[in-house]
Structure 1
Amino acid sequence: MGDALHTLPEFFETELGESIQARTETLSSFRELGPPDLCHLLKSNGRKEVSSYHYVSGVDASSSATLATYINSLSYELEPNGAWFNKTTYRLKGGIYSCFNAFSRVDLRVEVYIPGTVEAYIVNVRGERLEATPEMWQETYLSAMLRAIHYADDTNFFLAGYRRLDPITTPEQELRFLLAAENLFFKGWQLGSEPEIQVATVVHNHLSSGILKYFGKASRYEQAVNLFEKLWAREPEVAALVAQSYLGMNQEVKAVQIMHRALQDNPQSYVLLHVQADFLCGKGRLDWAIKLAKQAVNAAPSEFITWAKLAELYVLDEQWESALFTLNSCPMFTYNERDLHRMPPAARTHFPVRPLVAENKFIDEEDVDDGQTDVALLRLPAPTLRGTFSKAYMILTKLVKKIGWDELLKCRSDVFVMEQEYRSQLQSPEDNGTNGAMAQPERASVQTGENPGKNANTRFSFTDKRLCERWLDNLFMVLYEDLRVYTIWRAEMAHFQAQSLPYRRPGKDWEILGELALRLHHPEEAHQAFVQCINQKFSAKAYLRLLERYTELRLLTQSLTAAVRLTAYNYRWYDDCVFPSAIADCLFRLIKTEGYGKVSYTLVSMAPPAPMLQLMQKYFAFAQALRIPGSEF
């Protein structure tokens, strides 16, 4: 369980078992898939006992035997000879592995005594112990698999002391996952869904999206099709997933036939309508796609994604006012943070540097930055947007990229009742000025208790305008801040270049500016910023963005260089997950387009240090074991 000794991250407890107690008290707060698994360990030197814990995902949770095996394997990965405590040798005495069952909202725990017995039981939200039935085991196994798949590349789950392992490494393990997914598919809605979905359904939930993510990122839709076709017979809406998978396989005729038949049977399925709208959009038939998107809004008017889809299509079709009006109609939902533990402060932590890292100077950690980060960059509000607000902001940035800021303000004043208009109708005019070269948006009239709202439309004859929702009004202010900072940055760069002077900023500034440029859909400028960033400091975020860009441009050597640096960084922080991960996603896309031989030989020709080559070979081994497209010789 791990390729080097003594590689275990540990949080040491002040009181024995306090982490398990804290997890029990937190169980009722877990809303969806739950947090990563918790592994609690008890060690003894014969006279004194100490306890520690770490987070982990990817462990096979199909039986008490597999979880007990994981705990037993940790005997070889603990800190040697108790160097942290009077040079006394401590040995593993036992442990508790806690794995959240997201279907039944309970914790399945396996308690191991070394040497001795293994005990498995369920703990519910009231802290009561129950028997672990076969049904509970299957639910727990699938919950653990989905967490490993969804959290593998989720930046919201960058936790200290979080160990990521591969959930699937063989075709046999993949088959077990498929069987469990088939058995529990129609319970998937119980797991919840992405934050943009108001009501989880049989098609929109963490189980269905996990299946599509796992097979889609590897371009292996055949397995997904086989599963979904069996389920389609029991639920007509699953046709959307079948069609989506066939499109992923580039079998468009088959997908169109399925969509046609399914929509005849179920014309009010917004999921089916969206799949067809996306297909038509890709074929350049925006007029048809918009008609379908409108039908989807009528079918599910309380869902954010139906309105958002229509707004995006209006942007593509250059119907700016309709796009703004539709965006303003989106129902917005409060974003719930990811399920996490609330643990008491650790007595101390131990995050050992793994031997391969210690022996190889090539592996980086995040460097201390080389200067004071610009406060204006740190205060930008856009990075804090989540859920529906983040998606709505993305649509707004696409709109401003198409028509520019001044035209957007004009379009906005044509669609919404502006504050100046409203006040002038009340016969107390107040003019808003402008700020600098870029006009600052005045506040639109929004619905409150202070504002008569729809009555104002009748009273003041604003018959062709609407009230702007306060959240959208705020997004305009967020966009203004992004554009203002971006404009200043580009103007400064141009000034320095005109004077043939170097334009210097701290590495963290460049990282934030790169993200800013990406938000505003300026990929070239973002690329330049990320290159500047890694020239000054190691930044995992910048390397990941560069990897994505190089992969998109099919620049093989540059892609592999970034992948090596990221793999090294992940390895340092106990992330041994090959797939699914953002790195594997990019490498498998290169293998698909360039061929396995060319990608693997290019890596070898780059002559990375032998330990790094060994780590990278895991991606290629996985590609061959699971038959990723392009991996055949």
Structure 2
Amino acid sequence: MDTFATLPEFFETEISESVQSRTDLLSSFCELGPPDLCHVIKASGRKEIGSYHTVSGVDASSSATLATYITSLSYELEQNPAWFSGKGQYKIKSGMYCCFNAFSRMDLRVEVYIPGSVQTYMVNPRGERFATNPEMWQETYLSAVLRAIMYSDDANYKLAGYRKLDPVPTMEDEVRFLLAAENLFFKGWQLGSDPEIQVATVVHNHLSAGILKYFGDSGRYEQAVNLFEKLWAREPDVSALVSKAYLGMNQEVKAVQIMHRALQENPHNYVLLHVQADFLRSKGQLEWAIKLAKQAVDCAPSEYVTWARLADYYVDAGEWAAALFTLNSCPMFTYNDRDLHRLPQAARTHFPIRKLAAQSKLLNEESANDNKVDPALLRLPAPALRGTFANAYGILTKLASKIGWDVLLKCRSEVFVMEEEYRTQTTEKENNQFAAPSEPQQAASSRENGELSLDPIGKKDGKNKTSDHWLSFTQKRLCERWLDNLFMVLYEDLRVYTIWRAELAHYRSQSIPIHKSATDWEILGELSLRLHHVDEACDAFLQCVTQKFSPRAYQRLLEHCTEVGNIEQSLSMAMYLTAYNYRWYADCIFPGTIAKHIFQIIREEGLGKVSNTLISMNPSPAMLNLMQRYFAYAQEFRIEGSNM
């Protein structure tokens, strides 16, 4: 059985079962859709086998480009000397490329017969076939590019055997991407939006988010400004995107002028209000930012993001009770998983190690001990939070990091009716003294929230300090059950964190080495990050990577090293991640976390300095080859600092 020398491959039990499975699941895809599927049938004499792999970044602008991708696999197969038996070599007989059109909710499919013909058609969720047209091709092309952009860093898409290519490999391709984005921009709401947005709009959807991510991660907002300004002439709400792009370019005066003009024309644009409020917060004008955030709540009271943004501002302003009160009012949405194609169980798989990845000398094998985990760490509920609940938990942990668990509980009892208080209708103030965090009391559960005033709770002058006053029973609100649950999640995080730090302090005071598995350290690092203990998180991640190769730990360290401006350490982390990604078939330079951070360093320090630093680190020739692809991309796309 011949296999591809450098490509992942899943072998089918029954020929074409992966394609049939995809057809059966088409109706379940509700947003951008799953990665593309490339299926081939190989033959040797009368014997046929079916295999496939998932892929993103392939040019889906025409049947010719997709057919070319399939035929390129034939050349790959010819270079592979592997044999299943001595009777003959397998050759590709036919292939099918499946690419989901997220606008029409249909699958575009290109069938190639070698040698022979090419057939192209669309398939709907009922399995019916339709002819293609230029509009469908453009929709499919843009859908494919957006998946490659939006899924580049998505933890849900850390799939085995998922090949990633550059969706926009040249400046000419970028022009085509911008043209397609312009033509289909006002259909972008059909693609859905981030899980924190209840209703996708012309400015809140995966298309607008993809454009901002693509140009924002490379610091090249000029192209985004040009696109959005053309669209602004057709739709006033696009002014929010124009303002964001100008702020990304550090053209604050221009951005403020646009916001002023646009808000005069439409004072109810909550997205624009948020852009202006974020700008004011960045300038330390929290009082004004809060006023704008309140207006945004009035404009879109059913959206989670308006309430969450206001709660976040209250945390920054030290309005603890108001922050809790506002957070409790957030409308929460059920999280829907990303679109994934659940493929049938493969008969066998083939994941070859690519030559440059092996020659990088940075990859190592894991031992069984590396993956042993403390059961208490596995039971932590916070990592399972998704969507609005994960976002709200982030606000709650931010509040806890500023005031501590004791004060948070006092503030909680001040704002919400506790269970005992609800039964007795008294306003007793409870003492919460503990070594480790004490477990919070459950709030009352016959639940009918009263009307919410957006003014800070307590003193009319807005100086809302927990110790200054206590609300009477009639002024309090019932705590939503989901927020009750988040307090319990926070309690578990703090309990485990407190025990770990106490244990670590004890061992260090006795000069005793502490023994934990690499996976334990990785989980403790994530726990520390959730609780906003950055230094402790970095220490844990460093402990993790000394024991095993951990992509997540290396990524967290890359983010931190870039943030603090440590060029050499950033490049070191980037090399480990690049070797890992290349080993697992990621040929994509950009978009992606590694390129984003390397480009940030290039903008700040200049390409010459970054390149010389890398060379001074004396990496292997293979690793240097892989890393220099980022520098070539920076020069090709004229990343700021690439000429320095």
Q: TM-score, normalised by structure 2?
A: 0.94
The one-letter code matched in structure 1 to 2:21 is A
Residues 49-128 of structure 1: matches in 2 within 5 Å?
Answer: 49-78=48-77, 80-81=80-81, 83-84=83-84, 88-128=88-128
Name 2:156's counterpart in structure 1.
Answer: 156
Cα deviation digits, residues 272-312 of structure 1 (max 9, x gap) = 00000000001111000000000000000000000000000
> 2: CA distance between counterparts of 1:340 and 1:63?
24
Percent identity for Structure 1 against Structure 2: 69
Offset at residue 366 of structure 1 (A) = 5.2
Offset at residue 436 of structure 1 (A) = 5.8
**Partner of residue 545 from structure 2, selected from 530, 534, 541:** 534
Residues 419 and 442 in structure 1, CA contact (< 8 A), matched pair in contact too = yes
> 1: CA distance between counterparts of 2:157 and 2:372?
27
> 2: CA distance between counterparts of 1:278 and 1:529?
32
Name 2:562's counterpart in structure 1.
Answer: 551
Offset at residue 433 of structure 1 (A) = 9.2
Matched, 1:629 2:631: no
Aligned-pair Cα RMSD in Å: 2.0
Name 2:384's counterpart in structure 1.
Answer: 384
Offset at residue 88 of structure 1 (A) = 3.6
Name 1:143's counterpart in structure 2.
Answer: 143
Secondary structure, aligned partner of 2:52 = strand
Residues 393-404 of structure 1: matches in 2 within 5 Å?
Answer: 393-404=393-404
Offset at residue 504 of structure 1 (A) = 1.9
Name 1:19's counterpart in structure 2.
Answer: 18
Residues 280 and 286 in structure 2, CA contact (< 8 A), matched pair in contact too = yes
> 2: CA distance between counterparts of 1:87 and 1:575?
34
Secondary structure, aligned partner of 1:219 = coil
Matched, 1:482 2:481: no
Moved more, 416-425 or 86-95: 86-95
Q: Cα gap change, 1:408/1:87 in structure 2, threshold over 3 Å: closer, same or farther?
A: farther
Residues 496-535 of structure 1: matches in 2 within 5 Å?
Answer: 496-535=507-546
Matched, 1:191 2:202: no
> 1: CA distance between counterparts of 2:450 and 2:326?
18
Offset at residue 343 of structure 1 (A) = 1.9
Moved more, 134-143 or 491-500: 491-500
Residues 192 and 205 in structure 2, CA contact (< 8 A), matched pair in contact too = yes
Secondary structure, aligned partner of 1:631 = coil
Name 1:336's counterpart in structure 2.
Answer: 336
Secondary structure, aligned partner of 1:463 = helix
Matched, 1:468 2:471: no
Name 1:561's counterpart in structure 2.
Answer: 572
Name 2:234's counterpart in structure 1.
Answer: 234
> 1: CA distance between counterparts of 2:535 and 2:511?
21
4+ residue stretches of structure 1 with deviation over 2 A? 76-88, 355-372, 423-427, 431-438, 452-455
Cα deviation digits, residues 149-200 of structure 1 (max 9, x gap) = 0111111101111100111121100000000000000000000000000000
> 2: CA distance between counterparts of 1:85 and 1:590?
51
Name 1:275's counterpart in structure 2.
Answer: 275
Residues 573-592 of structure 1: matches in 2 within 5 Å?
Answer: 573-592=584-603
Name 1:572's counterpart in structure 2.
Answer: 583
Q: Cα gap change, 1:373/1:615 in structure 2, threshold over 3 Å: closer, same or farther?
A: same
Matched, 1:168 2:168: yes
Offset at residue 351 of structure 1 (A) = 1.0
The one-letter code matched in structure 2 to 1:272 is L
Secondary structure, aligned partner of 2:473 = coil
Offset at residue 317 of structure 1 (A) = 0.3
Secondary structure, aligned partner of 2:410 = helix
Secondary structure, aligned partner of 1:54 = strand
Cα deviation digits, residues 386-421 of structure 1 (max 9, x gap) = 000000000000000000000000000000000111
Name 1:495's counterpart in structure 2.
Answer: 506
Offset at residue 425 of structure 1 (A) = 3.8
Name 1:34's counterpart in structure 2.
Answer: 33
Q: Cα gap change, 1:255/1:116 in structure 2, threshold over 3 Å: closer, same or farther?
A: same
Residues 359 and 620 in structure 2, CA contact (< 8 A), matched pair in contact too = no
Offset at residue 368 of structure 1 (A) = 3.9
Residues 361 and 620 in structure 2, CA contact (< 8 A), matched pair in contact too = no
Matched, 1:296 2:307: no
> 2: CA distance between counterparts of 1:496 and 1:372?
21
Name 1:262's counterpart in structure 2.
Answer: 262
The one-letter code matched in structure 2 to 1:507 is A
Cα deviation digits, residues 175-233 of structure 1 (max 9, x gap) = 00000000000000000000000000000000000000000011100000000000000
The one-letter code matched in structure 2 to 1:103 is F
Matched, 1:604 2:603: no
The one-letter code matched in structure 2 to 1:318 is G
Q: Cα gap change, 1:454/1:244 in structure 2, threshold over 3 Å: closer, same or farther?
A: closer
Name 2:456's counterpart in structure 1.
Answer: none
> 2: CA distance between counterparts of 1:433 and 1:310?
28
> 1: CA distance between counterparts of 2:431 and 2:11?
58
> 2: CA distance between counterparts of 1:446 and 1:553?
46
> 2: CA distance between counterparts of 1:270 and 1:371?
46
Residues 436 and 495 in structure 2, CA contact (< 8 A), matched pair in contact too = no
Offset at residue 461 of structure 1 (A) = 7.6
Offset at residue 446 of structure 1 (A) = 2.9
> 1: CA distance between counterparts of 2:87 and 2:574?
39
Q: How many residues align?
A: 621
Cα deviation digits, residues 49-84 of structure 1 (max 9, x gap) = 101010000000000000001001111334834534
The one-letter code matched in structure 2 to 1:49 is E
> 2: CA distance between counterparts of 1:130 and 1:209?
30
Secondary structure, aligned partner of 2:546 = helix
Residues 103 and 191 in structure 2, CA contact (< 8 A), matched pair in contact too = yes
Secondary structure, aligned partner of 1:568 = helix
Offset at residue 372 of structure 1 (A) = 2.9
Q: Cα gap change, 1:367/1:297 in structure 2, threshold over 3 Å: closer, same or farther?
A: farther
The one-letter code matched in structure 2 to 1:489 is W
Residues 196 and 305 in structure 1, CA contact (< 8 A), matched pair in contact too = yes
Secondary structure, aligned partner of 1:97 = strand
Cα deviation digits, residues 509-535 of structure 1 (max 9, x gap) = 100000000000011000100111111
Q: TM-score, normalised by structure 1?
A: 0.95
> 1: CA distance between counterparts of 2:61 and 2:222?
25
Gaps of 5+ in 2: 452-470
The one-letter code matched in structure 1 to 2:343 is M
Q: Cα gap change, 1:358/1:528 in structure 2, threshold over 3 Å: closer, same or farther?
A: closer
Residues 420 and 432 in structure 1, CA contact (< 8 A), matched pair in contact too = no
> 2: CA distance between counterparts of 1:467 and 1:599?
55
> 2: CA distance between counterparts of 1:220 and 1:446?
51
The one-letter code matched in structure 2 to 1:215 is F
The one-letter code matched in structure 2 to 1:100 is F
Name 1:442's counterpart in structure 2.
Answer: 441
Residues 98 and 108 in structure 1, CA contact (< 8 A), matched pair in contact too = yes
Q: Cα gap change, 1:545/1:413 in structure 2, threshold over 3 Å: closer, same or farther?
A: same
Q: Cα gap change, 1:232/1:624 in structure 2, threshold over 3 Å: closer, same or farther?
A: same
> 2: CA distance between counterparts of 1:135 and 1:174?
19
Cα deviation digits, residues 230-251 of structure 1 (max 9, x gap) = 0000000000000010000010
Q: Cα gap change, 1:101/1:370 in structure 2, threshold over 3 Å: closer, same or farther?
A: closer
> 2: CA distance between counterparts of 1:506 and 1:360?
25
The one-letter code matched in structure 2 to 1:348 is R
Residues 43 and 90 in structure 2, CA contact (< 8 A), matched pair in contact too = yes
> 2: CA distance between counterparts of 1:87 and 1:330?
67
Moved more, 435-444 or 100-109: 435-444
> 1: CA distance between counterparts of 2:178 and 2:595?
21
Gaps of 5+ in 1: none
> 2: CA distance between counterparts of 1:558 and 1:272?
38
Offset at residue 491 of structure 1 (A) = 0.5
